Amino acid sequence: MKLSLIFGLLISLSNCFAQKVDNENKFGQFKYYQNDTIQKRLKDIVRTDSIKSSCDLFYKSYDRNDSLVSELKYFQCQSNTKNGYLTRNIYRKDGKIILYELFNMEGTEIERYKFDYNEKGKITKKEGFGSGEIGITIKYYYTDNGELIDKKAFRFGDEVKDYFKTMK
């Protein structure tokens, strides 16, 4: 009985330690918009290259057609690691960005934007938040010829800014 109690306690403690170590690795697990397009695209990754420069470290991930899927950039020129930041971009097969995220080196998310496109490849919606903003959605409107005619920002469903409107 004592042996099984000790064995159970050791397993429990090792599991707690593993969870603590895993939780401290803040960049090991990214939280994405639960979007099938993004999740499917990440599954296409077959190769990741790393590039180091004086202040930056880049990880670029590619699919089997050698198209860029994901890009991680760590920027840090200061000796204090808390002053750096990380960006992550995820791209569609045609190279258009579908997710942009910015984190500080403590793992706090500063900005996140998700992008949607129409069948012609034109951006139709950008939603997320950035540097002090609360959630925002920017919608883009086009003519049948693909010419941008209007761009509006919405917060909680209410229009907050009309960037411009092309008058014809």
In this prediction the pTM is 0.71
The model's pLDDT over 105-148, given as tens digits with 9 standing for 90+, comes to 788 888 999 999 999 999 999 999 887 667 899 999 999 999 99
Q: Give the model's pLDDT for residue 6.
A: 47
Please indicate, yes or no, if residue 106 is contained in any of the structural domains: yes
The model's pLDDT over 47-80, given as tens digits with 9 standing for 90+, comes to 999 998 888 899 999 999 999 999 999 887 765 5
128 and 99 in a common domain? no
54 and 96 in a common domain? yes
165 and 105 in a common domain? no
Please indicate, yes or no, if residue 79 is contained in any of the structural domains: yes
CB burial string 63-76: b at 16+ within 10 A, e below: beeeebbbbbbbbb
Q: Could you tell me whether strands 148-155 and 136-142 are parallel, antiparallel, or unpaired per DSSP bridges? A: antiparallel
Q: Return d(Cα 18, Cα 6) in angstroms, integer.
A: 18
Please indicate, yes or no, if residue 15 is contained in any of the structural domains: no
pLDDT at residue 44 is higher than 90? yes
Residue span of the structural domain in which 77 resides: 31-114
